[in-house]
């Protein structure tokens, strides 16, 4: 049986950065590109992931399958100057590489993000997702996320508009 672990990543070591880039590239090719439609060059991908660890308002959670990073999500807090929205946080870039699905990591990563959001005092967790991400939508709804809005032109994929669905969960 495969070993799965979810952790808050504070620095890259060993093959972590390469593994994360590989998993993200596979996720993008499968249609879950958190903005990208095709994988960028490796230097762009590495710069992106390195930058995530530099932003104080972001926390990067990774899922590992047999010690290899195969997915992630980021917890994003509003900036310190945004007192009016300090009670919420956002989860972004939630994905698991297609070849690593079926081990419960998508749910485990999401639960870890929720726990961390509570620890930092967030009362609400927001997220958004392309309507084409049916498995993710099922997961979010099964864990109590409430759909509050739809953006009909959220993304353009192959020249066609794809709607985006917006969700929140009360963490109190």
What the block records as the tokens of 25 is 């590239």
Q: In the chain, what percentage of residues exceed pLDDT 70?
A: 99
pLDDT given for residue 1 in this prediction: 78
pLDDT given for residue 29 in this prediction: 92
What is the per-residue DSSP string for 104-143? SHHHHHHHHHHHHHHHTT-SEEEEEEETT-HHHHHHHHHT
pLDDT given for residue 35 in this prediction: 83
- Look at phi and psi of residue 157 and say left if phi exceeds 0, alpha if psi is from -120 to 50, else beta: beta
How confident is the prediction for the chain on average, in pLDDT? 94
Q: 5 phi and psi, to 5 degrees?
A: -145, 140
Contacts 24+ apart (CB under 8 A), 37-40: 37/157
pLDDT given for residue 97 in this prediction: 95
What's the gap between Cα 163 and its chain centre?
18
Work out the average pLDDT over 76-101. Answer: 92
pLDDT given for residue 90 in this prediction: 97
pLDDT digits (tens, 9 = 90+) for 108-132: 999 999 999 999 999 999 999 999 9
Q: Exposure of 162 by Cβ count < 10 A (0-12 exposed, 13-18 middle, 19+ buried)?
A: middle
pLDDT given for residue 33 in this prediction: 65
User: What are the chain's domains?
Assistant: 4-170 (3.40.630.30)
What the block records as the tokens of 11 is 């620095």
pLDDT given for residue 94 in this prediction: 96
**Residues across the chain:** 172
Question: What b/e string do you get for 94-114 counting C-beta neighbours within 10 Å, with b at 16 or more?
Answer: bbbbeebbebebbebbbebbb
What's the gap between Cα 87 and its chain centre?
20
Quick check: 159 pLDDT over 80?
yes
pLDDT given for residue 81 in this prediction: 85
pLDDT given for residue 49 in this prediction: 97
pLDDT digits (tens, 9 = 90+) for 23-80: 999 999 988 767 888 999 999 999 999 999 999 999 999 999 999 999 999 999 988 8
52 contacts 100 by C-beta, under 8 angstroms: no
Q: Which of 41, 37, 143 is nearest to 91 (CA)?
A: 143
pLDDT given for residue 23 in this prediction: 96
């Amino acid at each position: 049986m495969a070993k799965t672990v979810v952790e808050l990543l504070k620095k890259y070591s060993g093959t972590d950065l390469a593994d994360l880039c590989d998993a993200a590239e596979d996720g993008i090719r499968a249609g879950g590109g958190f903005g990208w439609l095709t994988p960028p060059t490796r230097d762009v991908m590495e710069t992106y992931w390195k930058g995530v660890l530099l932003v104080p308002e972001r926390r990067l959670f990774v899922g590992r399958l047999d010690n290899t990073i195969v997915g992630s999500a980021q917890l994003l807090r509003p900036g310190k100057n945004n007192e009016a929205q300090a009670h919420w946080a956002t989860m972004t870039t939630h994905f698991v590489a297609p070849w690593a699905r079926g081990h419960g990591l998508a749910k485990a990563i999401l639960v870890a993000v929720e726990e961390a959001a509570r620890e930092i005092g967030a009362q609400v967790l927001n997220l958004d997702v392309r309507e084409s991400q049916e498995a993710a939508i099922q997961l979010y709804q099964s864990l109590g996320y409430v759909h509050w809005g739809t953006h009909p032109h959220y993304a353009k994929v192959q020249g066609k508009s794809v709607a985006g669905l917006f969700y929140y969960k009360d963490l109190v």
